[in-house]
């Protein structure tokens, strides 16, 4: 059965990039990400944090400046893009990362167009937006705040700390390779080369391992196979969802 194609659209002014690991881990449980975009004014506030994480998570940043105070142009741009992506048939599932009630009509429209809509946001997200989605996941902001506080109070910074799951980039790499992937299996050598293409700035140290094989072995959603011709990996046919 073909995996659902997932479009991840992020209201960058609503959630900071410190939540990126949770966001992409949840999105990965719904299928293969084919598009990742964040929208906002990246010169200030929460939006600025996404510029720092964009290359690590292979996120396209869409700079949108509001022409007047109180006018949220980024919401309108994100809505227009979502409608165009849906009409073009580029995605089956939409992960809308926000808690803004302004996205309620968009969620209703996408569901009416036969798309699965997954909302991700903070606990105080608009009730109407939550109910308009097929499912809504609350992002655990306290965990990120606690982690940031501990790091800032530490006199000696951690040597190398994993920042996110490698699964989304592996899924993107497999998608890029297409026919080269036989039965879902791909050699670690070919995967390593593809990861550097699908994830600009890709470095293993960001994932807490000295080698690609060791990093992949830590991912419960991935399966490794050691053969005479080399080491291979694939995404397990069924990925168990673990709520953030």
How far apart, in whole angstroms, are the C-alpha atoms of residue 20 and residue 139? 10
Percent share of the chain, pLDDT over 70: 77
For the structural domain made of 5-153, what CATH number should be given? 3.40.50.1010
Answer yes or no: pTM beyond 0.85.
Answer: no
Amino acid 217: pLDDT: 84
* Chain mean pLDDT for the chain: 79
Mean of pLDDT values over 208-220: 79
- pLDDT of 186 reads 82
Mean pLDDT of the region 185-210: 71
The 8-class DSSP code of residue 242 comes to -
* CATH superfamily name and code, 167-235: LOTUS domain-like (3.30.420.610)
d(CA 219, CA 25): 11
- pLDDT in the model for residue 91: 96
Domain limits, the chain = 5-153, 167-235
- Give residue-wise pLDDT tens across range 39-87: 988 877 767 788 877 878 888 989 887 655 545 778 899 999 999 999 9
Residues in contact with 214: Cβ distance below 8 Å, sequence separation at least 6, in sequence order: none
Distance from C-alpha of 112 to C-alpha of 133, rounded to nearest angstrom: 11
pLDDT above 60: residue 200: no
CA distance linking residue 203 with residue 212, whole number of Å: 10
pLDDT digits (tens, 9 = 90+) for 130-161: 999 999 999 886 544 444 444 444 444 444 44
Tell which residue, 48, 42, 43, has the closest CA to residue 18: 48
């Amino acid at each position: 059965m073909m995996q659902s194609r997932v479009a991840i659209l992020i209201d960058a002014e609503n959630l900071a990039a410190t939540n990126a690991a949770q966001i992409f881990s949840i999105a990965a449980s719904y299928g293969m990400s084919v598009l990742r975009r964040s929208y906002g004014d990246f010169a200030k506030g929460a939006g600025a944090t996404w510029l720092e994480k964009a290359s690590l998570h292979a996120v396209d940043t869409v700079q949108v400046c509001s022409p007047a105070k109180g006018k949220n142009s980024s919401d309108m741009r994100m809505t227009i893009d979502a409608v165009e992506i849906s009409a073009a048939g580029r995605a089956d599932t939409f992960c809308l990362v926000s808690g803004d009630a302004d996205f309620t009509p968009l969620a209703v429209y996408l569901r009416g167009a036969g798309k699965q809509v997954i909302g991700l946001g903070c606990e105080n997200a608009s009730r109407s937006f939550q109910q308009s989605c097929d499912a809504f996941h609350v992002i655990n902001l306290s965990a990120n705040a606690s982690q940031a506080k501990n790091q800032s109070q530490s006199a000696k910074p951690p040597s190398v700390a994993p920042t996110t799951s490698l699964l989304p980039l592996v899924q993107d790499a497999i998608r890029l390779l297409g026919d080269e992937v036989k039965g879902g299996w791909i050699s670690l050598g070919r995967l390593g080369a593809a990861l550097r293409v699908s994830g600009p700035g890709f470095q293993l140290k960001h994932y807490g391992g000295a080698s690609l094989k060791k990093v992949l072995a830590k991912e419960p959603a991935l399966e490794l196979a050691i053969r005479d011709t080399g080491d291979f990996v694939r995404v397990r046919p069924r990925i168990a969802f673990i709520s953030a």
